[in-house]
Structure 1
Amino acid sequence: MPELTVHFQPQPEFYTTEGCHISEVINQEDHPDVSLATARVAPGVTTRWHTVEAREIYYILSGKGRAEVDGEVIDVSPGQAVSIPEGVPQRIANTGTEDLIFLCVCTPRFRQEGYREVDR
């Protein structure tokens, strides 16, 4: 079976209304099954409650945080992952003194129209 290598150029980081910085690596219409982004949350910041029409996996690269997923609280640090089911209310807080940086994988790919802020 031939090996397939695809090169994607990470996009410039942008700030979201959710309260974090995002740099998308993979998020193309011709790859609808998955998206990959790097997320960065500044010290002391908690993102807004939201839902996404995709399963998400956060893989923590650096920093310390606390993820809240549908009422469950999970302390996170480098090397840990959080699996977030589709449509479940969630947020993440940076509880450390340095940026909380993590990979965010969405299946199917993240689409802005599938993102919703929610009141909790």
Structure 2
Amino acid sequence: MDVVNLSEAPPFTTKDGSEIRELLAHRNSCIQKQSLAEARLPVGASTTAHYHPKTEEIYYITHGEGRMQIGDEFRDVKVGDAVAIPPGQVHQITNTGTDTLRLLCCCAPAYEHEDTVLVES
């Protein structure tokens, strides 16, 4: 049985500039076709606009509030919101709140730097 506690997951910075703690993926568990991580963005910070050619993502907001952009659409997000991000869609999230924005990121297939394409502004 693979159980990983968030407090024991080492942080690293993804290609889009967010700090994540990978909870479950092929790198640390029996999970092979998806990944689950927690991302954190400080107040006022944004991820770099990017897309994933192969990977679909779900963001689930657990702390704070932000502004989500997918393509040309913008939406304010808060605790309890789940955001669907299809493959190939340029997306970015900005922390618009007064506390660290924390969200769970579910990726299928699992997150890989190689499947992240940064978009020049």
TM tier, smaller: 0.7 to 0.9
Change over 3 Å in CA distance of 1:111–1:17 after alignment to 2? closer
> Does residue 12 of structure 2 align to residue 14 of structure 1?
yes
What is the identity, as a one-letter code, of the residue corresponding to 1:13? Answer: P
Partner residue in 2 for 1:27:
25
How far off its partner does 1:77 sit?
0.3
1: CA distance between counterparts of 2:108 and 2:12?
A: 21
Taking only the aligned residue pairs, the percentage that are identical comes to 37
Contact 2:20-2:39 at 8 Å conserved across structures: yes
How far off its partner does 1:9 sit?
5.3
**CA RMSD after TM alignment:** 1.6
Unmatched runs of 5 consecutive residues or more in structure 2? none
2: CA distance between counterparts of 1:83 and 1:75?
A: 14
User: What secondary structure sits across from 2:92 in the alignment?
Assistant: strand
**Count of aligned pairs:** 116
Deviations 1:76-101 (A, max 9, x none): 00000100001210000000110000
Contact 2:35-2:108 at 8 Å conserved across structures: yes
What is the identity, as a one-letter code, of the residue corresponding to 2:45? Answer: V
Contact 1:50-1:117 at 8 Å conserved across structures: yes
Partner residue in 2 for 1:73:
74
How far off its partner does 1:46 sit?
1.2
Change over 3 Å in CA distance of 1:112–1:15 after alignment to 2? closer
Partner residue in 2 for 1:98:
99
What is the identity, as a one-letter code, of the residue corresponding to 1:65? Answer: G
What is the identity, as a one-letter code, of the residue corresponding to 2:56? Answer: R
Q: TM-score by structure 1 length?
A: 0.88
Q: TM-score by structure 2 length?
A: 0.87
Unmatched runs of 5 consecutive residues or more in structure 1? none
Contact 2:14-2:113 at 8 Å conserved across structures: no
Change over 3 Å in CA distance of 1:112–1:19 after alignment to 2? closer
2: CA distance between counterparts of 1:112 and 1:15?
A: 10
Poorly superposed stretches of 4+, deviation over 3 Å: none
How far off its partner does 1:6 sit?
3.2
2: CA distance between counterparts of 1:16 and 1:97?
A: 23
